[in-house]
């Protein structure tokens, strides 16, 4: 045995519950597949409903929603994660899962705080089932997946800022689109409502601060999970 091998403890990558919750476990892959398909089917239902006479949203507006975009990507990523072993996925896959965890958590929070009907309790699951899939089930599932299923990739300190690029681009797109056709994806972004631009900018600033805080929590939670999965073990 070499001196290096003697002095450097081996890395135990999936000890104990890390092995039980490894992403290649059949039950985890089946669960990811089931949730991914359910999220995508809910999106198909939303799309169909948008084509019905009397619908107050068209297809272009539907796919301009942050909720729809983030759930579309989540559904596809979960299906791919179920179809392929972790070794056959790129090294940045865990970072992608982290980004989606962040986006879906914000989807659930923003819906509960700013978008949901005033008489709808934030804990309620009694709602139009595609909304339930996209605003309740998907955020909860991916949060537990991020914190419990084995991850081994550590994120650098700039990772939360990289995750913010997409929401920032979405914000700019929403204002540009609203200025062109008068339709704003969410009321809190609409400067034509009461309070004008000051109210819209103030609410947006608060949302961005919340985004940054959640991004940091997701980032540190993922790194803690990866550290647990790759901790040294002396023999």
- Can you give the pLDDT at residue 4? 37
pLDDT at 13: 46
Q: What is the pLDDT of residue 228?
A: 86
Cβ-based neighbours of 225, under 8 Å, separated by 6 or more: 146, 147, 148, 150, 151
Question: How would residue 215 be classed by pLDDT, with cut points 50, 70 and 90?
Answer: very high
State which of 31-40, 108-117, 163-172, 197-206 shows the largest mean pLDDT: 31-40
pLDDT of residue 6 exceeding 60, the answer is no
Instruction: Count CA atoms within 13 Å of residue 176 on its CB side.
Output: 7
- Provide the pLDDT confidence category of residue 16 given band limits of 50, 70 and 90: low
What per-residue confidence (pLDDT) applies to 118?
A: 77
Q: Contact, 67 vs 130, CB < 8 A?
A: no
User: What pLDDT is attached to residue 232?
Assistant: 61
Q: How far apart are CA 235 and CA 229, in angstroms?
A: 17
Task: Kindly list the distances between the CA atom of residue 228 and the CA atoms of 98, 186, 222, 224, in Å, as whole numbers in the listed order.
Answer: 16, 39, 10, 6
């Amino acid at each position: 045995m070499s001196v290096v091998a003697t002095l450097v403890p081996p890395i135990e990558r999936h000890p104990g519950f890390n092995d039980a919750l490894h992403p290649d476990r059949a039950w985890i892959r089946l669960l990811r597949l089931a949730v991914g398909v359910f999220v995508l089917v809910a999106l198909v239902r939303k799309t169909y409903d948008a084509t019905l006479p009397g619908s107050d949203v068209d297809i272009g507006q539907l796919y301009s929603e942050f909720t729809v975009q983030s759930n579309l990507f989540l559904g596809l990523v979960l299906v791919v994660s179920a179809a392929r072993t972790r070794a056959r996925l790129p090294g940045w896959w865990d970072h992608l899962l982290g980004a989606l965890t962040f986006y879906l958590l914000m989807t659930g929070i923003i819906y509960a705080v700013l978008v949901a009907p005033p008489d709808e309790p934030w804990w309620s699951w009694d709602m139009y089932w595609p909304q339930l899939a996209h605003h309740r089930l998907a955020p909860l599932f991916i949060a537990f997946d991020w914190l419990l299923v084995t991850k081994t990739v550590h994120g650098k300190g700039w990772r939360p800022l990289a995750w913010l690029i997409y929401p920032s681009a979405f914000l700019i797109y929403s204002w540009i689109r609203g200025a062109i056709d008068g339709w704003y994806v969410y009321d809190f972004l609409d400067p034509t409502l009461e309070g004008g631009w000051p109210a819209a900018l103030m609410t947006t600033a608060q949302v961005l601060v919340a985004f940054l805080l959640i991004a940091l929590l997701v980032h540190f939670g993922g790194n803690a999970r990866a550290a647990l999965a790759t901790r040294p073990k002396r023999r």
